[in-house]
Copies of this chain bind each other. A is one copy, B any other.
Amino acid sequence: MGEFGLIARLAEAFAKGGQPSGLVIGIGDDAAAWRASGVQLVTTDTLIEGTHFRLPHVPWRDLGWNALAVNVSDIAAMGGIPEQALLTLALPAQTEVADVDELLAGMLEAGKEYATAIVGGDIVGCDTTMVTVTLIGQALVDDRGEPLLMTRSGAHAGDAIAVTGCLGDSAGGLRILLGESAGSAEAADCLKRAHLHHRPPLAAGQMAVRDGVRAAIDVSDGLLQDLGHVCQASGLGAIVHAQRIPISPALRQAFPQDALALACGGGEDYQLLLAAPPGVIERVQGKADVPIAVIGEMVADRQRRVRLLDEDGRELAPPRAGWDHLRGAAWRR
């Protein structure tokens, strides 16, 4: 099956996913077209074999889900609504059509979950399997039609720092997939699921921006590194209290020694980090459909440091660095 056969297959599969109301032209022309107003958002993220996943450790269906989910995570971090996605697939010549079908099915499931239509893309032959998704969405607006956005630069000194969900589970799941043994089978399953099937808290991001949160980032490279981006962009420092970082019972059971390190720098959590006045965070905590934990505060600091403190207020060395895909990430370590 060549390029055009695969494109026809994609078009057929994605048409089943339904067409959003504003869509004017979907897959199959030189460009897709849709009616838009307000502030549009766009992000793109690539998953590449060897860096972000290794077949056959990652089922194709999960790969398709995650390729969309990691982009939804970026839109969630802006407080936005995802709408249209484009898929670029780089596939080796020997790729099985059944595997591509699984990938499409996984992406369609994620599209259904996050109300996103796949409206176009590209297919190329390549020795390395690579899945690039570009996701377009729109910002929520206030009563006067002005866009509501969370940015990396929107934090202020005195803001509480909060994170959704638990951190480190995905990195723990990766270890188990790579062959490390972990506590119980239940814990192992829970951690593997966190790695293979990211669930970015989209509704919580929208709730946060509506309730007045103006600074956020998605935790994809590791808590301390991503918080560092907020510090850089906002011109502030941050203090994180190690004992407040939300760590799941499964991670503590599976990796009691490394749980904190994985939560601080494991990466691929796809949770949200929010920074806002404590009262604003409390309001969001009271409504959100996911747990939100306050872990620290933004502080004035010309050096824009992220400092991790223990229970007695003593500074801890960062348990582990985040990852940097060009230097060699988890699968290549």
Which residues of A does B touch, CB under 8 Å? 1-4, 6, 24-25, 28-46, 48, 50-52, 73-75, 77-78, 80, 84, 86, 88, 90-91, 93, 119-128, 130, 132, 134, 136-137, 139, 147, 149, 151-153, 216-218, 233, 324-328
Contacts and interface: CB of A to CB of B under 8 A. Distances in A.
Contacts of A326: 1-3, 6, 91, 93, 123-125
Contacts of A50: 126
Contacts of A130: 90, 124, 126, 130
Contacts of A3: 324-327
Contacts of A35: 38-40
Given A75-B31, A127-B127, A152-B28, A122 B44 contact: yes
A51 B122 contact: no
Given A25-B149, A149-B24, A324 B40 contact: no
A301 to B, nearest CB: 20
A31 B36 contact: no
A84 B43 CA distance: 12
Contact of A33 (B28, B44, B78, B84): B78
A24 B39 contact: yes
B33 A36 contact: no
B88 A44 contact: yes
Contacts of A149: 24-25, 33
13 contacts: A2-B326, A28-B233, A29-B78, A30-B75, A30-B216, A30-B217, A31-B41, A32-B41, A35-B40, A44-B134, A46-B88, A48-B126, A124-B130
A61 B281 CA distance: 48
A316 to B, nearest CB: 23
B30 A74 contact: yes
A327 B96 CA distance: 14
A225 to B, nearest CB: 9
B147 A33 contact: yes
Contact of A88 (B80, B121, B132): B132
A190 B37 CA distance: 44
A30 B88 CA distance: 20
A220 to B, nearest CB: 9
A30 B122 contact: no
B30 A86 contact: no
Contacts of A153: 29
Contact of A34 (B29, B40, B52, B127): B40
Contacts of A327: 2-3
Contacts of A6: 326
Contacts of A88: 44, 46, 88, 132
A136 B120 CA distance: 12
Q: Which of A30, A50, A134, A136 has the most CB of B within 10 A?
A: A30
B139 A136 contact: no
Contacts of A74: 30-31
Nearest to A225: B4
Contact of A31 (B2, B28, B80): B80
B125 A29 contact: no
Nearest to A95: B326
A2 B225 CA distance: 14
